[in-house]
């Protein structure tokens, strides 16, 4: 069954430091396959594209039917840290239902290890915000109702 959903993923990064959270990160975490870029703008764009593909490929869209969502636009806000080893850590999500929050957390936790962010040559933790936006259409709602 094909689900008519628009999934939009945007990634915003902010450095996470114990003493100074206002410092701009010198080198952001690098997603696998993005190593060839030599500037942060291109690295961030590559990471955003790859995260978008990863989440879209691994998110269980059947949940939209089981959660009985009405037609409309929805957002799951996911916050996570890429730690000093490049692993995903401290994942939290807020969304329209607990099951969708749990699915968003599951998917983000399964993102492959990255090269960690660097500040003055030292690996650092980097905080990310990942909004997952999607649309449930009236057609999707009608399909769900016919199924039930």
For the chain, which residues make up each domain, given as ranges? 8-147
Query: 113 versus 134: which is more confidently predicted?
Result: 113
The pLDDT value recorded for residue 21 is 45
- Tens of pLDDT along 66-80? 888 889 999 999 999
Query: 147 versus 137: which is more confidently predicted?
Result: 137
pLDDT at 120 over 80: yes
pTM: 0.82
Residues 108/55, Cβ–Cβ less than 8 Å: yes
Looking from the CA of 137 toward its CB, the CA atoms found within 13 Å total 9
Mean per-residue pLDDT for 120-140?
91
The pLDDT value recorded for residue 29 is 94
**Alpha carbons 63 and 100: distance in angstroms, whole number:** 7
């Amino acid at each position: 069954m094909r689900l008519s959903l628009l999934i939009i993923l945007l990634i915003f990064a902010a450095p996470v430091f114990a003493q100074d959270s206002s410092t701009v990160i010198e080198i952001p975490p690098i997603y696998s396959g993005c190593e060839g870029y030599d500037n942060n703008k291109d690295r961030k764009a590559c990471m955003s594209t790859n995260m978008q593909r990863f989440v879209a490929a691994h998110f269980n869209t059947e949940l939209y039917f089981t959660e009985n969502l009405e037609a409309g636009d929805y957002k799951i806000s996911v916050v996570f840290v890429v730690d000093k080893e490049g692993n995903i850590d401290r994942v939290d999500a807020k969304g329209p239902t607990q099951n969708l929050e749990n699915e968003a957390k599951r998917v983000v936790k399964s993102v492959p290890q990255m090269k960690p962010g660097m500040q003055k040559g030292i690996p650092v933790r980097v905080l990310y915000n990942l909004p997952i936006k999607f649309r449930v259409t009236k057609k999707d709602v009608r399909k769900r109702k016919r199924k039930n």
